[in-house]
Amino acid sequence: MHFALINNNRTEAQPLLKGLCTCCSKPVIAKCGTRKIWHWAHKSKTACDNWWEPETEWHRTWKNNYPADWHEISLLDERTGKKHVADIRTVHGLVIEFQHSHIDLQERTSREQFYKKMVWMVNGTRLKRDYPRFLKGKKNCFENPIFYNTENPKIFRVDLIDWCFPSAWLESSVPVIFDFRGDGSKDDSEGMRNTLYCLFPQVGRYARVAEISRKAFINATTNGEWTFRVQEFINDFRKEDEIEQNIQQQTISCTSNKVIYTWRGIPLFGGYKEYRKRLSASYKSIRKGKR
Ligand SMILES: [Zn+2]
């Protein structure tokens, strides 16, 4: 952990210091070596928060984008009587969990159910193949197209999502952000590692991924807009899916081998071109209606 209590003050690890764990109040000692980042460790090997993973430079760098009194906030799970330490909990009640190691499905689900208003930040450089596979999908280099453009140039519909993201995260009930930059030492000839990729919880038929800059993510989570913005997007996705489904039901009737495009049951003279035009106009009107 980054902080321990000394005389009730949250204190960073320094050589020879002793303190108390902010979560379980048991004694912790400062570990200030050269191999790992300076941190606090429990004196005995008793399990404190069983969700805690050893911190890396990547965790620490990310956490330092937020005020220190939002770091390592311990919260009691009333159902189990256990305490858990959130990496970041903002004043707006949003929990940000930075995950480097593999996580199993059960733990991921329990953490989502416990924190509820949360977002995962996943280190996308843990396995060597993760980034190349993502890149291949993003650039549609597989035999099937994966990333489809939408009206919003930063948002994509993603098909065959398991071809480009690690399977552990695909059915998450909260947004999952992939950070492919790691510690910044990896080759980035494509210039794409600096962008974050947000996989939304899936609503309807399609997975959706948004590109977001680090700065925009940090700002939106710090000022509290994040949760509303995510909800707005999810509502839009639902509406888009509904409209498309309605249209599909009414659209295509086949006579011999000719396709007749219709709009709300009425055949269109312009055929497919007119149909696309109307579809895109109806997406635009959804977006306008919301603001
Ligand atoms: Zn503890």
Distance (Å, whole) CA 118 – CA 33: 33
Distance 92 CA to ligand 1 centre (A): 25
Rounded distance between C-alpha atoms, residue 263 and residue 248, angstroms: 9
State the pLDDT at residue 155.
95
Q: How many angstroms is it from 268 CA to the middle of ligand 1? A: 67
Burial of 7 (0-12, 13-18, 19+ CB in 10 A): exposed
pLDDT value at residue 290: 46
- Ligand 1 centroid, distance to 24 Cα (angstroms): 4
pLDDT in tens, the chain (291 residues): 899 999 999 999 999 999 999 988 999 999 999 888 999 999 887 778 888 888 889 999 999 999 999 999 999 999 888 899 999 999 999 999 999 999 999 999 999 999 999 999 999 998 888 999 999 999 998 888 889 999 899 999 998 888 889 989 999 999 999 999 987 788 888 788 899 999 999 988 889 999 999 999 999 999 999 999 999 999 999 998 888 888 777 665 544 456 677 776 677 777 777 778 877 877 776 666 543
For 190, counting Cβ atoms within 10 Å of its Cβ (0-12 exposed, 13-18 middle, 19+ buried), the class is exposed
Q: Are strands 118-123 and 95-99 parallel, antiparallel or unpaired?
A: parallel
- Residue 262 phi, psi dihedral angles, 5° rounding: -125, 160
Report the alpha-carbon distance of residue 154 to residue 138 in Å, rounded: 12
Taking the centre of ligand 1 as the mean of its atom positions, its distance from the CA of residue 86, in whole angstroms, is 13
Q: How far is the C-alpha of 98 from the C-alpha of 59, rounded, in Å?
A: 6
Q: What is the pLDDT of residue 93?
A: 97
Q: How many CB atoms lie within 10 A of CB 184?
A: 12
229 Cα–ligand 1 center, Å = 35
Q: What's the pLDDT at 286?
A: 62
Tell me how far the alpha carbon of residue 124 lies from the centroid of ligand 1, in angstroms: 28
| Phi, psi at 53, each rounded to 5° | -115, 150
Cα(40) to ligand 1 centroid in Å equals 10
Whole-angstrom CA distances from 195 to 58, 186, 201, 270 are: 16, 14, 19, 40
Assigned token pair, 208: 């959706």
C-alpha 218 to ligand 1 mean position (Å): 28
Q: Indicate the helix (H) or strand (E) that contains 4.
A: strand 3-6
pLDDT at site 117: 97
Assess contact for 99 and 55: CB atoms under 8 A.
no
DSSP class of 203: B
Predicted pLDDT of residue 51: 86
Q: Which pLDDT does position 255 carry in this prediction?
A: 43
**C-alpha neighbours within 13 Å on the C-beta side of residue 259:** 10
CA of 73 from ligand 1 middle (Å) equals 12
Within the chain, residue ranges assigned H as helices are 57-63, 105-115, 130-138, 214-223, 225-251, 271-290
Distance 81 CA to ligand 1 centre (A): 14
34 CA distance to ligand 1 centroid (A)? 23
pLDDT at 40: 93
Distance of CA 27 from the midpoint of ligand 1 (Å): 8
Question: Cα-atom radius of gyration of the chain, to the nearest Å?
Answer: 23
Residue 51's nearest CA partner among 28, 96, 83 is 83
| CA 259 / ligand 1 centre spacing (Å) | 66
Distance CA 150, CA 156 (A): 6
Other beta carbons within 10 Å of 274: 13
Distance 50 CA to ligand 1 centre (A): 10
- Expressed in angstroms, the distance from the first to the final Cα of the chain is 43
Name 209's bridge partners. Answer: 156, 199
CA 23 – ligand 1 centroid, Å: 5
Q: How many CB atoms lie within 10 A of CB 95?
A: 23
Q: How remote is the CA of residue 31 from the centroid of ligand 1, in Å? A: 15
